[in-house]
Structure 1
Amino acid sequence: MLSSRDPEIARRVRDVIVVVVIVAFAVLPIPDDLYRARGLLVIPALLPAGVMLVRRKWPLLALAVSLLCALLIATAGTIAPSALVAAAVGAFAVVDQRGRLIGLIAVASAALVAYLSNGVALGGDLFDSTAFQFVVLILLGGALGDATRSRREVVSAITERAERAEQGRDEEARRRVAEERVRIARDLHDVVAHQISVISLNAGVASSALETRPERAREALTTIRSASRTVLTDIGGLMALLRADDADDAEDARSLRPQSGLAELDALIARFTAVGLHVEVDRERTAVALSPASDHVAYLALLEGLTNAHKHGADAAVFVSIGTDADALVLTLVNARREAPSDRAVSGHGLRGLRERVTAVRGQVSTDDAGGRFVLSVRIPTERSSR
């Protein structure tokens, strides 16, 4: 397995190889006297091997020292292979570390200096093919440096895009978790709030009528038992949906209790009537085309309005109007309020969740609490107006 020390070890190995190659060109007995440094010329022939160790930090310095040594040896009539090989390595480092523009200038200058120094060693014969040998090597070093830099930039760009994509996936996952939490809170409110309200109110009725009106207390306890079973069934269906491992299981869980719509309005009113709420309904006979989502939201709006009227109403009565207005379904619920309005009553979790659901189907919710009456108005676009 690779560790953080492996790149440093690889760099040191490359440094050793470069130094060994340069030293070999400087001290090995090359048959051709034109390429053999003798006497004190061995010092400038070996010097480039030392500066190669700092070529990553100071690439221009390493290249300049190598060319200077090659030019110094050339004045003695000798071509210095060690210095020119070091110049090719320096050209690679300049392009790799300093970029294409600076590298192009440096490589061109180095090739020109190498060509002229070789010409000096050849007695001024600039057209001898020997003068071009190490020039090609320097140009090749620059080209390889440019290729290495380009590859590193491509890898860096790919890595950056991958990191951005991973960050985007993380943010998307967090957003979906937040949306799922909101959805769970809404579903819990939808399936639990009304039944808990019914249980609470009937528990009060049962406790107050237990001795004076045992029949009424018995009816209240029967209602509590029925509401408890309903809320347990609803919570069980919600838990099955949350525990579903895949989309098919989720669909099966949803199918256990399909979403309610306005077709179940009579059953909804009957449930509230059974717990003592008088519901007066004014309903238009004109059929309204709603999408399944809008139909369910309309049902939830009526459920929320009737629950609030049951909990906070003054005379256990509510007026419900269901009509249409300019390609939209309009629901209005009016009930007398029990006491002065509070911020919690007007903007509780139920109404906040209802606003979010209605907004999701491009509808509008408005409330009014004046003159002793609370008015809830919901406007939901029909399918025709949504196109």
Structure 2
Amino acid sequence: MKQSGWWQRNTGRVPSLRPPGITAPLGDVIAVALVVLFGVLPYPDEVFQARGLLLVVALLPVAVIPIRRRWPVATLGVSLACTVGIAFAGVLAPGTLIAVTVAAFSVAARTRRLVAIIYVGLAALVVFVVSSVPLHGDLFDSRALQFVSFIVVAGAMGDATRSRREYIAAVTERAERAERGKEEEARRRVAEERVRIARDLHDLVAHQISVISLSAGVASSSLQARPERAQEALTNIRSASRSVLADIGMLMALLRTENADEQRDLHPQAGLSRLDHLLSRFTDAGLQVTLHREPGIAPLSSASDHAAYLALQEGLTNAHKHGTGNQTAVDIRASAGDILLTVTNPVGREASLAAASGHGLRGLRERVAAVRGNVRTLRRDGEFRLIVTIPSADGAGR
């Protein structure tokens, strides 16, 4: 459609939307037959009869009719020139006038409206004037006026054809644009659902797998020297394994259900009220956690509370996976009406880069942004710091 608009603006012609087939050649055959028929008929009135060389001139438009779709103005010009030449020879040739009528239709159907009005009007005026020559100066002879009327009607029909073609093109373009919009919307929804699934999978499973892996390392290193420590680590592995199996089952239920209410009921909604349980799990896995929680923190909405819990879970998981020294510090405090969560742990350079660019932080940023919070990471003096700001329920409407 864009190419069609460019073609019309730069050439003044409207491209045809008709598919190639028998219709166009058949139309040319009919037009040629009409020109020849009206050119050779034995009219009783001598003014309509073209003989000898004049008959050849009268039939000359037959040669340009097949190109009327590509060059309509040129076809109209040739047909009009033949009409004028024969008229000055004293003959009003119906064959050339039919050719002018056919060409006028093509001009109106395949050029812009202003161009069509100019050329069709000029053709009608020329025929009106030159017809008076073989009719002995009678401008309003009905025999000439009928051909002028044919030209005007043909121009109107051509304009209607062009308008219909443009309407069909516009409707088709709108339909295609709507279809593309539906496809883009479907792709967007699929992409959003994939991101949601990846985020839920990470939130539900990743930190449990991390606890299992690290507990397995503790059990392996303590098996001989400290069997009670190994036993404790194996207990943690068993507990985390059960949790991850339950989480995976819940996630499968989320993916299989089609009811939005069921999805909300199945979705995990742990909040800061379960912070002690979260810290104990990482402590049991060998991570030394120092917690500083400022008293009197404003309450959070359920969504913000869940986002805060996930932020601490992600920070502790990263500290356990990428940190050095098996120690981390968690700080929870109020800041200008918001809740500021900070998880700090010592880390090496490569590990800090891995922690800052992981999929978990990407999903965390999306979850925190959904409650109008923000996530920042900072590496300074051998420490990696995760800083999460979440609006409180009182400050959420600011």
TM range (shorter): 0.7 to 0.9
Alignment of 1:43-122 (within 5 A): 43-122=56-135
Corresponding residue to 2:195 among 182, 190, 198: 182
Query: CA 1:112 to 1:243, structure 2 compared with 1: closer, same or farther past 3 Å?
Result: same
The one-letter code matched in structure 2 to 1:152 is R
The aligned counterpart of 1:23 is 36
- The SS at the match of 2:232 is helix
**Paired residue for 2:11?**
none
| Residue 301 of structure 1: aligned partner | 311
**1:361 matched residue in structure 2:** 371
Question: Residue 82 and residue 386 in structure 1: after superposition, are their counterparts in 2 closer, same or farther (change >3 A)?
Answer: farther
Distance 1:176 1:263 in 2: 33
Q: State TM-score, norm by structure 2.
A: 0.83
Residue of structure 2 in register with 1:270 after alignment: 280
Contact persistence 2:324–2:347 (CA under 8 A): yes
Which segment is superposed worse, 285-294 or 61-70? 285-294
Once the two structures are TM-superposed, the CA of residue 224 in structure 1 deviates from its matched residue by 1.2
Q: Does 1:154 align with 2:197?
A: no
SS at 1:332 equivalent:
strand
Q: Is the 8 A contact 1:273 1:279 kept in 2?
A: yes
Do the aligned residues in 2 keep the contact of 1:237 with 1:254 (CA within 8 Å)?
no
- 2:7 corresponding residue in structure 1: none
C-alpha separation in 2, matches of 1:174 and 1:280: 45
Q: Deviation at 1:345?
A: 4.6
Partner-residue secondary structure (3-state), 1:120 = coil
Determine the C-alpha separation between the residues in 2 that align with 1:258 and 1:339: 33
Q: How does 1:235-314 map to 2 (within 5 A)?
A: 235-244=248-257, 246=258, 248=259, 251-286=261-296, 288-314=298-324
Shift of 1:35: 3.3
Determine the structure 1 residue equivalent to 2:229: 216
Q: Which amino acid aligns with 1:26?
A: G
Structure 1 residue runs without a partner (length 5+): none
Against the structure 1 CA distance between its residues 51 and 174, is the aligned structure 2 distance closer, same or farther, given a 3 Å change threshold?
Answer: same
Structure 1 residues 50 and 159, CA gap change in structure 2 (3 angstroms): same
Output one character per residue of 1:118-173: Cα deviation in whole Å (capped at 9) or x when no partner.
21121111132333111111111122222222332333333334444444444444
The 2-side partners of 1:165 and 1:345 are apart by 43
User: Is residue 2:240 matched to residue 1:227?
Assistant: yes
Amino acid in the other structure paired with 2:353: R
2:357 is equivalent to residue 344 of structure 1: no
Show structure 2 runs of 5+ residues with no match: 1-16
385, 388, 393: which one aligns with 1:375: 385
Higher relative contact order, chain-length normalized (CA < 8 Å, sep 6+): 2
Counterpart CA distance in 2 for 1:359 and 1:100 is: 54
Give the C-alpha shift of residue 15 in structure 1.
0.8
Does residue 322 (structure 1) correspond to residue 335 (structure 2)? The answer is: no
Q: 2:84 and 2:383 mapped to 1: Cα distance? A: 102
User: Is 1:194 the equivalent of 2:203?
Assistant: no
Change (3 A) 1:113 1:371: closer
Return 180-189 or 224-233, whichever deviates more. 180-189
- Asked if 1 retains the 8 angstrom alpha-carbon contact of 2:322 and 2:351, the reply is no
Q: Is the 8 Å Cα contact of residues 318 and 355 (structure 2) preserved in structure 1?
A: no
Aligned equivalent of 1:334: 344
Q: Which moved more, 1:345-354 or 1:229-238?
A: 345-354
* CA offsets 1:188-213 (integer angstroms, 9 cap, x no match): 22122211111112112222333444
Gap change, CA 1:56 and 1:329, over 3 Å in 2: same
> Equivalent residue of 1:367, what SS?
strand
Q: How far did 1:6 drift? A: 5.2
On the 8 A contact 1:237/1:253 being kept in 2, the answer is no
% identity of equivalent residues: 57
Q: What is the distance in 1 between the residues matched to 2:151 and 2:125?
A: 10
Render the CA deviation track for 1:200-249: whole Å, top value 9, x for unaligned.
121122223334444433332222122112212222333343344x4x2x
* Partners of 1:62 and 1:368 in 2: CA distance: 77
1:125-136 residue pairs with structure 2 within 5 A? Answer: 125-136=138-149
